[in-house]
Structure 1
Amino acid sequence: MGAVDDFEGVSRGRTRRALGLIAIGLALALVGGIVYLRPFARAPAETPAPTPGGHFNLPADMQWLSGAEGWLVYNDGQNQSTLFHTQDAGRHWQRNFLVSNGHAAGLRFFDSRRGVLPIYGEAGGVRVLQTEDGGRSWRPVPLPSLVSTRASSSATPCMPGLLSGRRRPPRPVFQPSSCIAQPTSASTGSDSRMQR
């Protein structure tokens, strides 16, 4: 009987070890499955941040002259516009000036020193400010009348343009009224030039 007892003792020890190894294997499989499947688990639905109340205005215009230097026109909705300037890629903005009684839009710089800013008024009028020193100072641009008193015309929507001539750099030209004069056949000669 002693030999049988030894055999049963070995058998019980192996069974305990086998059960222990199986338990450890199941525990590792469970932990591995949780770790593996965790990235695929659905995240809780995010609640959007509440938006503040009130009226918001977006910039009316923005122009970048380089990666660091840029201009921003902001209309506040109360018939005022502010021109901002940055020289550090937008980290800091300096207020250049405030425009009252009009909305600025259509800011254009032709190079780092020369630029124009049209300002549209309540009554449909347009005035244009110009800088030739990189925005340190702005002065009004006299707006020429493009309508001849002897020519009939047909109206088209007002569009800004450039006027250039021999030995003169291009300069901005804007029609102050709500239309640009276009010659018609009644006011032109055979060579399609306006008659005076």
Structure 2
Amino acid sequence: MTAGLVGAALALTLAAPARAGETPAAPGTSEAPVAAGGWQLTPTGTDVRFRGLAAVDRGTAWAAGSRGTVLRTTDAGRTWRNVSPPGGETLELRDVEAFDARRAVVLAIGEGEASRLLRTEDGGATWTETFRNTDPRAFYDCVTFLDRRHGLALSDPVDGRFRILATRDGGRSWRVLPDSGMPAALPGEAGFAASGQCLVTADRGGKDVWFATGAAATARVFHSADRGRTWTVTDSPVPAADPARGVFALAFRDRRHGLAVGGDYRAGQPSPRAAAVTADGGRTWTPAATPPPAYRSGVAWLPRAEGAALAVGPTGTDLTRDGGRTWRTVDTGSYDTVDCTPDGGCWASGEKGRIARLTRR
């Protein structure tokens, strides 16, 4: 698939929706102009793998990856500035949450003290380590923010329950929340630090947060409506029952409508039923009627296009125009994660230094 096909598909998606009773236009038949475009790779100057991505707007984005690498652009990807934390070459950065072009929080993963959180307030010129895990049983996977002050980080289970770390000051300090409101984990259950999307919120400013799991007998989705103090959990139809399988990423466009993607991350392994959808805030999940054809590690709703979203993985990008019920592949480039902004900006990142910006001419 070519980048032009991505652009054509997205141009159709972003055209005016059909009126009630009308049949949506078939590809290539939209009355709106269909312009070439799609994922445009940007010059990063590195070969590290970027699993962490935070899109601020169409011109500004942050990426975090292996060897402690953090990049930032403020000119729509024409140039990237290396703003990596000094001395962090051994850190495996898997998530980044950015508030604007100057303030961001990055998560390093790993057992024990390898799991850390760092914050910058000056565009990456300086970094402050604000949390270092001292419990050898904990392994942090993802971080998310509900607003500029309240954020959460997710660890794999400790003493049979997932552990939640919380901040109330924008990531300057963190504390472990009591686990009394957390349902028990299944044997072997864990989160996946694959794309920074195993722990997510809907629109910033609310109190709802969700996280996804796998590796156990069932892949599940946990939900909190009180900023992580208490949780409920629901089975998903995405297959698990193996350490390599489960739900890898979530995306919610509001409190009710959410997407889950995943599968089996091992190359060449089948990933049936690799996507699911909810319309009730995660209380129930329905498998996609036509899921992506392979493992997908990242997912994002497209801005200003109700019902449209992108899912990405090592073998390609898929597009849905019906809220996640059906997906079709529109690109075969390798990406691990994707993020979109309200002003119409979409970015994707992955292996070998790949960071791309969605363009529409």
Structure with greater proportional helix content: 1
Bigger relative contact order (CA 8 A; separation at least 6): 2
Structure with greater proportional strand content: 2
TM-score scaled by length of structure 2: 0.27
TM-score scaled by length of structure 1: 0.47
